[in-house]
Amino acid sequence: MPKISDAHEQQQREKILHAAATCFRDRGYHETSVQDICDAAKLSKGGLYTYFESKDEIMAAVIDESFIDTLRAAQDAASDGGTAIDKLDRVAAVLVDRLVSEEAHPVHSPQLHLEIWAEASKNAHLRALCAQAYDRWKTFLAGLLREGMRQGLIRPDIDAEGIAATLVAVFDGLSLQESIARTHVDWPSVMATLRLGLGEGIFTSAAGNDRTAAKSGGRQ
């Protein structure tokens, strides 16, 4: 029997996760059966069980995909250079793009996040996965804020961890509102307002001068 290539295995896993995320988002976790996921992925149960042993294991992989994939994209955006404020702006742009894009993977939808939070509140393993993901996000954002402090662009007296936790909470809170109330959040406007509000509170005068110089340079 021919060996399944790593690329094919990854493709099949991605197909299952996409199908599962779509089902969890549209039907709810408990209303989705393994057969529903198989039908959406166009696989037999035997084919699905080659990659995942249970629906719980699939949900754990969906959580990993939802949190870690976005964090990886944010880290890539931050690695392009510039000041810490430039990096924070690019990270925000990545997050907004994933929330508003019509072609976004279902793992990024607010409705799916609601299902994840509901299950994590009752399942210790899923709760631990979410907690670990939140810790990684807060550590990443706090690191960018401290980098800004070293550059003299962010006030040294602020609580980097507290601001990072607040930023994560803003995204989660608005996602929860969007998923429960079925209201549309104007994410670009929210980010612009948050950027302005944070700028007034945590940026130094040097940051303002740096941004003004950058804009002036762009018009020359």
Token pair in block for residue 60: 């754990």
The class of domain 56-219 in CATH terms is mainly alpha
Q: Is a pLDDT exceeding 60 seen at residue 187?
A: yes
In terms of pLDDT, which residue wins out, 214 or 33?
A: 33
**pLDDT at residue number 217:** 47
For residue 49, name the pLDDT band (cuts at 50, 70, 90): very high
DSSP states along 16-68: HHHHHHHHHHHH-TTT--HHHHHHHHT--HHHHHTT-SSHHHHHHHHHHHHHH
Structural domain spans, the chain: 56-219
* Residue 108 near residue 18, CB atoms below 8 Å: no
Which residue shows structure tokens 């880290």?
Answer: 75
Residue 214 has pLDDT above 60, yes or no: no
Distances (CA, A) of 205 to 38, 90, 160, 210: 57, 21, 18, 9
Confidence of residue 98 (pLDDT cuts 50, 70, 90): confident
* 142 pLDDT above the threshold of 60: yes
Residue 59: per-residue pLDDT: 96
34 with 55: CB under 8 angstroms?
yes
Nearest CA among 160, 163, 151 for reference residue 207: 151
The 3-state DSSP class for residue 156 equals coil
Total-model pTM: 0.83
pLDDT at 65: 87
Q: What are 16-44's pLDDT values in tens digits?
A: 999 999 999 999 999 999 999 999 999 99
pLDDT category at 104 given cuts 50, 70, 90 is: low
Tokens encoding 210: 């740096």
